[in-house]
């Protein structure tokens, strides 16, 4: 593909808007679509073209990236009658699903693309808002390697690493494993900090000691850095953590594997949502134990 491409970004939430910004900064032409108009306005002022429908966005692009919240929105954006992006794709377009989805839906979507003769990649990302803004995402990619090589120059603008895992479905499974491990550690840490605060004679000394011991991973140290001062500004909102844990259970357990620990952790995040914390960052899970 040429050095300068026309890229469509469908879904301008916290992640998609930052990815779109970096595409503009890299000198590519950008087409944007979002279900609400507001997030597109800043990008349009910088030269992006606003599309009226996902199909309209796809029709104008060499590469289409979709970054939305869940399976249901993904299905609507890609496949809605007349307006879905699939209706604007052609054989020269590469379609990329960067949302965190179930492997089953990603594979189903890939089949739709194959029927139209369109190249497809699943490319969920590891990282949150700061990494998206700085072009430091890690891309986990499922799909044909020859398609990835065509899309790689663009992905390397948006991320610091691009990892090919295999066929469609493999990357989504890996992303769900990663998010499950993150969710479990954050919930455990929130509970421990709350217990320490209520039960230990010197909570601050106890936490500082923990930080110095091998029991603390770098991830938990970063999470603790936000939990301590009560910084719950959303990078990975609790409602998305709960969704991804549910996807993990449905996609990877398959009725054969015991996922009781993940299921129990999902219930904790569901309780946090019921308590009104769903829009808070994953670190906000501590509020459930501190109440």
Query: For the domain that residue 244 is a member of, what is the CATH number?
Result: 1.10.1040.10
Whether residues 97 and 144 fall in one domain: yes
157 lies in the same domain as 231: no
Do 219 and 250 share a domain, yes or no? yes
Mean pLDDT of 208-234: 92
Residues 199 and 94 in one domain: no
Domain match, 123 and 207 both: no
Other CB atoms within 10 A of residue 254 CB: 9
Please tell me the distance from the alpha carbon of residue 168 to that of residue 142, in angstroms, as a whole number. Answer: 4
- The mean pLDDT value for 272-283 works out to 98
- What is the pLDDT at residue 36? 86
For the segment 141-170, the average pLDDT, to the nearest whole number, is 98
CB atoms within 10 A of CB 259: 17
Note the pLDDT of residue 1. 44
CA–CA separation, 48 and 217 (whole Å): 41
State the total domains in the chain: 2
Same domain, 154 and 183: no
Is residue 26 located within the same domain as residue 159?
yes
- Structural domain boundaries enclosing 34: 6-166
The answer on pLDDT for 229 being more than 90 is no
**Same domain for 198 and 146:** no
Candidate from 31-35, 64-68, 224-228, 269-273 with smallest mean pLDDT: 224-228
The pTM for the full model equals 0.95
Domain-embedded: residue 266: yes
Residue where a domain stops, chosen among 140, 166, 192: 166
- Residue 1 located in a structural domain: no
Domain boundary among 166, 189, 224: 166
Same domain, 113 and 24: yes
User: 90 and 208, same structural domain?
Assistant: no
Of 166, 195, 221, which closes a domain? Answer: 166
For residue 142, the SS3 value is strand
Residues 189 and 132 in one domain: no
255 pLDDT higher than 60 = no
DSSP helix/strand/coil, 39: helix
- Torsion from C-alpha of 196, 202, 207, 209, nearest 10 degrees: -130
Whole-number Cα distances in Å, 134 to 18, 97, 131, 221 = 8, 20, 5, 21
pLDDT score at 254:
62
Q: Are 125 and 139 in contact (CB under 8 A)?
A: yes
43 neighbors 32 (Cβ within 8 angstroms):
yes
Same domain, 29 and 144: yes
Stretch 82-97: mean pLDDT, rounded?
A: 96
Residues in the chain: 291
Query: What is the mean pLDDT of the segment spanning 123-142?
Result: 97
CATH value at residue 139: 3.40.50.720
């Amino acid at each position: 593909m040429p050095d300068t491409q026309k890229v469509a970004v469908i879904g301008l939430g916290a992640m998609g808007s930052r990815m779109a910004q970096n595409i503009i900064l890299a000198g590519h032409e950008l087409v944007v679509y979002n279900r609400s108009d507001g997030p597109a306005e800043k990008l349009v002022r910088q030269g992006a073209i606003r599309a009226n429908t996902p199909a309209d966005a796809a029709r104008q692009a060499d590469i289409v990236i979709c970054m939305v919240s869940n399976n249901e929105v993904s299905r609507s954006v890609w496949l809605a009658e007349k307006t879905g992006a699939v209706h604007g794709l052609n054989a020269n377009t590469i379609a990329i699903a960067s949302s965190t989805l179930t492997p089953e839906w990603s594979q189903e979507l890939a089949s739709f693309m194959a029927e139209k003769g369109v190249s497809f990649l699943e490319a969920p990302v590891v990282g949150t808002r700061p990494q998206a803004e700085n072009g430091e995402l890690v891309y986990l990619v499922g799909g044909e390697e020859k398609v990835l090589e065509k899309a790689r120059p663009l992905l390397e603008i948006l991320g610091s690493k691009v990892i090919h895992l295999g066929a469609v479905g493999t990357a989504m499974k890996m992303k769900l494993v990663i998010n499950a491990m993150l969710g479990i550690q954050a919930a455990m840490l929130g509970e421990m900090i709350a217990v320490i605060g209520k039960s230990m004679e010197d909570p601050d000394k106890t936490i500082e000691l923990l930080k110095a011991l091998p029991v603390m991973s770098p991830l938990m140290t970063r999470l603790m850095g936000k939990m301590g001062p009560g910084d719950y500004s959303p990078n990975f909102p609790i409602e998305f953590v709960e969704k991804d844990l549910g996807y993990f259970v449905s996609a990877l357990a398959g009725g054969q594997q015991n996922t009781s620990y993940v299921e129990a952790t999902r219930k904790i995040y569901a309780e946090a949502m019921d308590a009104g914390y769903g829009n808070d960052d994953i670190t906000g899970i501590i509020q459930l134990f501190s109440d």
